[in-house]
Amino acid sequence: MTSVPPEPPAGSEPSATPPTPPTPPTPAAQQWSAPPATQPGPSAHPGGFNIAAIKPFDWGILAAGFLAFIFSFISYYTYSSGPFEKDYSAWDSFFGWASTLLALFAAGLLAVQLFAPQVRLPIPVRMVVLGGFAVALLLVIIAGFVDSRDYASRYSIDAGRGAGYFLSLIVILAGGVLSYLRLRETGGKLPWEKGA
């Protein structure tokens, strides 16, 4: 004897498609994300200064001190007699090497302020840099009039100044002018202007 499936109730029609199982809920999208990793830009230095923030005049001051040092090794004093000629560097005279060292010191002091801002110097750096270049300029001018050796008066030898002297004079003068302009730009005043 075979069993017959029961008939559907009246008014209902058989479904052509089987029922679909319920779909699981989709997981909610994450509402947070990890913070982006902060990396210093190409111009930032681990010490905390931004090399792109250094003004062009400051680069000029640093270059003036460095170039004054380089030019001090080129012919500074020249002595000639007929076909014979002898050259001496700035290191052969007090006024030559003193002006060179002062310009180099002024540029070095500024470099410390620019490249190591965490170092607190107990002096007004801009004023000292300007003073260093001003005294260096005075000394290099004196070196133009004072011979490093007494050859000219003793042996009738022609004394002159070589390329190193004139190049040093130019870069030290430029360093002084740039130092003055940067002092003004940073709000500094000359000593005799502070009381005004």
Residue 35 domain-assigned (yes or no): no
Tens-place pLDDT, residues 35-89: 555 554 444 445 556 788 889 999 999 999 999 999 999 999 998 887 888 898 9
Residue 79 domain-assigned (yes or no): no
Tally of domains within the chain: 1
Residue 38 domain-assigned (yes or no): no
CA 171, 166, 60 angle in degrees (round to 5)?
Answer: 10
Predicted TM-score (pTM) of this structure: 0.70
Instruction: List the structure tokens of 63.
Output: 């270059």
The dihedral region occupied by 11, where left means phi > 0, alpha psi between -120 and 50, and beta the remainder, is left
The boundaries of the domain holding residue 168 are 66-73+90-150+158-189
Tens-place pLDDT, residues 158-172: 888 999 999 999 999
Instruction: List the structure tokens of 137.
Output: 């300029």
The residues, ordered by sequence, that sit 6+ positions from 103 with a Cβ below 8 Å of its Cβ are: 64, 65, 68, 69, 132, 133, 136, 171, 172, 175
Give the pLDDT of residue 177: 97
